[in-house]
Amino acid sequence: MSTDGFLLPLRLFVGFRQLIDGVHAELAREGHPDVRPLHGFVFQAIGRDGTTAVELGRRLGVSKQAAGKTIDNLERLGYVERATDPYDARRKLVRLTDRGREVLIRSAQIFDELRAEWAAQIGADRLRQLEADLVTVTGAEAFRLDVPGWFG
């Protein structure tokens, strides 16, 4: 039936990667050369309200230690900050700094721009349908962040 069973997964990945690379190339141009693809998902998982290392690990599908290391790195880069929870002395709240929020906002904007470029090539309605179809076939799958270990 199909000409090549590898076409679909390959193109999905290439599309994903082009979008991610496009965002990070632009972020690097705007003064954020150290932000990795991984970090974007972390920023999103932290969100405006902040989280803890354990909760972050849960959301991303990695161990709390791995989440802690990533937080260490982002803290060193100035994108997140830790604060003690006044209601629970065990917890350390992880929140985005202004710099971190800036990256989160810019990322969304750049993704929108890249999406618009796609829309210009295949048409806005076709792109909407592509997104809708992907949602249909993939369902409500949680995002797993253990990509490095998962792939290799």
Helical ranges in 4-123 per DSSP H: 7-29, 37-46, 53-60, 64-76, 98-122
Verify binding: residue 76, a second copy, rule CB under 8 A.
no
Verify binding: residue 125, a second copy, rule CB under 8 A.
no
Q: Which window, 25-33, 74-82, 88-96, 125-133, contacts a second copy (CB under 8 A)?
A: 125-133
Contacts of residue 59, Cβ cutoff 8 Å, sequence gap at least 6: 45, 51
Verify binding: residue 107, DNA, rule CB under 7 A.
no
Supply φ then ψ for residue 57, to 5 degrees: -60, -40
Member of 31, 33, 37, 78 binding a second copy (CB under 8 A): 37
Q: Look at residue 121 and give its three-state secondary structure.
A: helix
Whole-angstrom distance, CA of residue 75 vs CA of residue 139:
34
Smaller CB separation from DNA, 29 or 90: 90
Member of 49, 89, 90, 137 binding a second copy (CB under 8 A): 137
Verify binding: residue 131, a second copy, rule CB under 8 A.
yes
Smaller CB separation from DNA, 76 or 126: 76
Distances (CA, A) of 43 to 75, 86, 92, 135, 147: 12, 23, 16, 22, 16
CB 92 within 8 A of CB 130: no
Which parts of this chain interact with DNA (CB under 7 A)? 36, 38, 52-55, 61-66, 68-71, 73, 82, 88-93, 145-149, 152
Which parts of this chain interact with a second copy (CB under 8 A)? 1-2, 4-20, 36-38, 44, 107-112, 115-118, 121-122, 126-127, 129-131, 133-138, 141, 143-144, 147-152
